Chains A and B, each alone.
Chain A
Amino acid sequence: MSKAYLAKSRLRKLEAEESLPNKLTKLLVEAGMEDIIQKGNIVAIKVHFGDTSNSGYRYIRPIFVRKVVDLVRSLGGIPFVTDTWGLKHIESAVKNGFNYATLNAAVIPANGIKENFYYVVKVPDAFHIKEVQVAGNIYDADVLINFAHSKGHPSSGYGGAIKNLAMGCTSYKTRGEVHNLEKLDDIGEKFQEGLVDATRAVLQNKKGKVIHINYIMDVQPMCDCAPYSDNPIVPDIGIAVSTDIVALEKATLDLIDNAPPAPYSIAEKLGLKPGDNKFFKIHKKDPYIQVRAGEKAGLGTQRYELIEI
């Protein structure tokens, strides 16, 4: 059994400390961030900067990333904020509010200006991808903070912490190989197993040096990379954190599935109810495949204790 920690976005009192950005700091401390970061560590904070046309808008709000940066600095770490797609994505990031002025940390490409900086990592007993090109700056970082946005995805039903590492911390060659798996079935099984292969490679040199965060807000039907955003399918839930990526993803999917459909959303249009596998009903891809595959590959356990702070 692994612990997952949850801060709900719903206010309990009309006080600043009850607001979600401040609760995120408490959440990370509770989840053991002080044990993960040592003074002088270089700390990669992986987020999704949003689509390159700056048309989508339901990505992680920069204030939350700033809170993570502030905590890293208070622990003596040296943070940088990062994503793939090279320097052109940094241009988009600046427009979307991710820059040194807002975050107090360098915002740099995960794998070079044209995505040619990577390390090849072998994945023993892989489902499909035996060699993964892991983004150089992610590999070289002493600590990885995997700050993912939980939302729908047409290839896997859902994308969160696992997908943030698998597709967001690798090269274009690996991303292409994983996407190619979509051609092998209609239910997203092979694709999600490929995500797990890539995630294993990214985490290979990060034992005891990684923490996973799911931002369960603005849970829109499609990925952050799409040049549009839609109303969230469920009301805002909050932020969940764990050092066990499988437990975190299972807890997150359970929270979303147990929530009511949000008004004016595609979930309402579909008539979804609390308890439905919402992403499966929307995308016809079962998102729990990646969770089960992650457990099978030894990334963690689906059994979790959810601790609300």
Chain B
Amino acid sequence: MSDKRKRVSVDQSSCIGCGTCIKVCPAGVFKIINGKSHAVRPDACIVCRACITHCPTSCITISPREYEPIKRLYEG
């Protein structure tokens, strides 16, 4: 499919590297690198939002998915 998946980001200044997001994410989006979580596979996100619900420092955000049909309507 041509649609891009949701983009996931982790605020590095708030992340405490606890690994909760890794435990709850069913898609393997996150990885701990140098003691902090990084969204290394953001394209794999299936938008279940478990990471946001569980993160103890609320440092994860998922930006809206960019669906091509509607994106073209707004940007075309």
Contacts and interface: CB of A to CB of B under 8 A. Distances in A.
Contacts of B70: 154, 221-222, 282-283
- Interface of B, secondary structure class, is loop
A114 B46 contact: no
A186 B1 contact: yes
A226 B64 contact: yes
B65 interface: yes
B47 interface: yes
Interface size class of A (residues with CB under 8 A): 20 to 34
Interface in A163-183: 172-173, 175-177, 179-180, 182-183
Contact of B49 (A172, A186, A227): A172
Interface string B59-76: 000001101011001100
Contact of A283 (B24, B49, B64, B67): B67
15 contacts: A85-B53, A115-B53, A154-B65, A172-B50, A175-B47, A176-B48, A177-B46, A179-B47, A180-B46, A183-B1, A186-B1, A228-B64, A266-B74, A283-B67, A284-B69
Contact of A176 (B1, B27, B65): B27
A228 B65 CA distance: 13
A182 to B, nearest CB: 8
- Interface of A, secondary structure class, is helix
Interface string A257-299: 0000000001001100000000000111000000000000000
A180 B26 CA distance: 11
A172 B53 contact: yes
Given A173-B26, A176-B27, A283-B67, A85 B49 contact: yes
B53 to A, nearest CB: 4
Nearest to A86: B53
Point out which of B48, B54, B65, B69 has the most chain A C-beta atoms below 10 A from its C-beta. Answer: B48
B12 interface: no
Interface in B26-68: 26-27, 46-50, 52-54, 58, 64-65, 67
Nearest to B1: A186
Interface in A22-65: 52
